[in-house]
Amino acid sequence: MDKDEALTKKNRLMRLPNILMKWEVILFLIFLIVIIVNSYISPYFLDYINIMNTTFNFMEKAIVALPMIFVIICGDIDISVAGIIALCSLFMGMASASGVDTLGLIAIGLGTGLAAGFLNGFIITKFGIPAIAVTIGSMSLFRGISYAFLGDKAFTKYPESFAFFGQGYIGYTMIPFELVLFLVLAVIFGLILHRTTFGRKVFAIGNNPTAANFSGILVNRIRHIIFAVTGLMSGLASILLTSRIGSTRPNIANGWELEIITTVLLGGVAITGGKGNIFGVIIGIFLIGFLKFGMGLINVPGKVMNIAIGFLLIVAIMLPEYINKLRSEVLLAKQKK
């Protein structure tokens, strides 16, 4: 009797409109709650200029999260992105110290990122080594190179025009250049993922690489391209970050890989590959960004924020699985009847 009652209760839960069970919708509701709670806690939260300015703090990570969606849907992972950011920043700093102009710096940043990502992809696909093993190594190699060159020193001389990328606004609107750049890139990456054959192939690889291979998809070439693009976007993020803080230290962007991967997984991309979409990740990006902004306003230390992010990551993985389990239980019960 009790069991029946519990089942009907679960049944009723399942009868909620399907749209409410969608991960992006749940995420968006959490996002709204964060905004409401934040604006209740601090009067400084709901302020146009404040909100626009806080996006500076997470747009660089957001830009790396976009290609990371592809990486994780493919069933891979890239832990070296923060290392690539450090490496790009190092080379830009060295170039700037020897008098290279802004355009040259951008070329160096993007070029270094692309080369680093290409190297990752090459080792992973050429030797058939799991991405996690390779990128753990290359993360320490890339950051290690910037430690080797810089030690405890820093590059701080950058041309004045270079500052625009990380600090500039579009016209007089107070909309940061970084935000606009991210939105444009998000549209491009979203279209590629959901509206092109390349995107379909990425999903196919994530669901079953062997089957994808036998159906004529060049699995390794696509994975190689994705890792190279991830490097390129890390290079772009490095340009923005270096321009924003105006200096290069070897510990630049330390630990970012954790937050970037957390964002993507929170956005509903399955770590096992083959599942995910861009809207969830975009909501996830702003959710984490505003959560941290709110916590910052009430003086929560960064280390404690990391505890929250860590728990968020674990819960974000557990919740969809739990919902699925609930669903299949109800379906089974229905079939028995």
Partner 1 sequence: MLDLLKKREFTLLGIIILLLIAVSLRSPYFLNIENLNDILNDTAILMMVAIGQLMVIVTGGIDLSVASGTALTGMSVALLNQHFPGIPILIIILISIAIGFLLGSFNGILVSKANIPPIITTLGTMSIYRGFVFVLSGGKWVSAHEMTDSFRELPRGTVFGISNLLLIALLTVIIFSVFLQLTRTGREIYGVGGNKLASLYVGINVKKISYLVFALCGCIVGLAGFLWVARYASAQNETAVGFELQTIAACVIGGVSIVGGSGTILGVILGALFLGIVNNALTLVNISPFYQMAIQGFVIIAAIIVNTLVEKRNQLMMLRRRSL
Between 28 and 147, whose beta carbon lies closer to partner 1? 147
Between 135 and 243, whose beta carbon lies closer to partner 1? 135
Task: Taking the CA atoms of 192, 309, 297 and 61 in sequence, report the sign of the dihedral they define.
Answer: negative
Q: Which of residues 99-138 bind partner 1 (CB under 8 A)?
A: 123, 127-130, 132-134, 136-138
Cβ pair 56, 177 in contact under 8 A: no
Cα–Cα distance measured from residue 333 to residue 11, given in angstroms and rounded to the nearest whole number: 9
Burial class (CB in 10 A: 0-12, 13-18, 19+), 298: exposed
If one asks whether residue 317 binds partner 1 (CB under 8 A), the answer comes out as yes
Minimum separation from the CB atom of position 173 to partner 1 (A): 36
If one asks whether residue 288 binds partner 1 (CB under 8 A), the answer comes out as no
Minimum separation from the CB atom of position 36 to partner 1 (A): 25
Q: Which of residues 134-153 bind partner 1 (CB under 8 A)?
A: 134, 136-145, 147-148, 150-152
| Cβ atoms < 10 Å from Cβ of 75 | 20
Question: Which helix or strand (DSSP H or E) is residue 4 part of?
Answer: helix 2-15
Cα–Cα distance measured from residue 56 to residue 50, given in angstroms and rounded to the nearest whole number: 10
Cβ pair 59, 176 in contact under 8 A: yes
Minimum separation from the CB atom of position 261 to partner 1 (A): 7
Q: Which of 309, 323, 326, 333 binds partner 1 (CB under 8 A)?
A: 309
Minimum separation from the CB atom of position 259 to partner 1 (A): 9
If one asks whether residue 326 binds partner 1 (CB under 8 A), the answer comes out as no
Q: Which of residues 236-255 bind partner 1 (CB under 8 A)?
A: 250, 255
Cβ pair 14, 330 in contact under 8 A: yes
Alpha carbon distance, N-terminus to C-terminus of the chain: 15
Question: Which helix or strand (DSSP H or E) is residue 170 part of?
Answer: strand 169-170
Q: Which of 13, 181, 183, 258 binds partner 1 (CB under 8 A)?
A: 258
Footprint on this chain of partner 1 (rule: CB under 8 A): 77, 123, 127-130, 132-134, 136-145, 147-148, 150-152, 250, 255, 258, 261-262, 265, 271-272, 301, 303-307, 309-311, 313-314, 317-318, 321
